[in-house]
A and B are shown apart, each in its own frame.
Chain A
Amino acid sequence: MPKPEILDPQGQAVTRALTRIGIGGVADVRQGKHFELEVDDSLDDETLHRIAGDLLANPVIEDWTVTRV
């Protein structure tokens, strides 16, 4: 997800579009990315966090979380 302090004009455009389809009460939309990885059971959490922090996200502009499902 873009960090809170990074302006997200795409999210703002979505917010405006919501009012156009008659939905009120949405104060803000932030647009981010979602990656699904199919990994071996042997991959530990540390490696998954490396994948997220070193490649999938740019920590200068994005926050990220890793969830196993």
Chain B
Amino acid sequence: MRIGVITFPGTLDDVDASRAARRAGAEAVALWHGDHDLRGVDAVVVPGGFSYGDYLRAGAIASLAPIMREVVDAARKGMPVLGICNGFQILCEAGLLPGALVRNAGLHFVCRDQALRVESSSTAWTGGFEAGQEIVVPLKSGEGRFVASTDTLAELEGEGRVVFRYVGGAPNGAMADIAGVASADGRVVGLMPHPEHAIDSLTGPTADGLGLFTSVLGAVAAA
């Protein structure tokens, strides 16, 4: 099982994402933004950071990078893709996930350990969780407010594609307290908080985040 982790100019969390993949039992494979090559990986993580300095809009330039053309093609064929923070923004800009992430309602950058409720265990990245289970992982973002049209929100809720919700209200003003969503086939998931920073109690608040990486191992094995 090979999990690719993309590095763009300005990516910050590729090292932790790779470590999380290895800790889950996968081989972490470094992918470069300028390449048209997924190196035979079974799943891809688009990690957090500030790709291209958030120029134009967060994730907008990165969504057009050569590697993202390959990711979009592979995702449309069912390859699991996880976007974390800036990675979530990139997947929205690339059209793989609905909605958009905009400036936090309070204008402040939010950095804290955040409780989330796993609303769906039927995605490639949450199969190892129970629906309704609460987890705690770090949240660190200034443009994390999820927004979407009323129709899109109704569709997401109706189809069970809200994957993570902030417990105790969204600290960034996200619509319906949405922290993470999935594609229609449940293979692509994006979330603002950082599961890759919570894979052991030595370096994170919990080891809750590891569950996303172990879940995808099961999803790929079952495919």
Contacts and interface: CB of A to CB of B under 8 A. Distances in A.
Q: Is the interface of A mostly helix, strand, loop or mixed?
A: mixed
Contact of B107 (A6, A9, A58): A9
Contacts of B105: 7, 9
A7 B145 CA distance: 10
A20 B213 CA distance: 50
14 contacts: A6-B147, A7-B105, A7-B145, A7-B173, A9-B104, A10-B107, A13-B107, A55-B60, A55-B64, A58-B57, A58-B100, A60-B92, A60-B147, A61-B100
A12 to B, nearest CB: 9
Contacts of A6: 102, 147
B133 interface: no
Interface in A1-20: 2, 6-7, 9-10, 13
Contacts of A13: 107
Contact of A61 (B64, B104, B147, B173): B147
Contacts of B103: 9-10
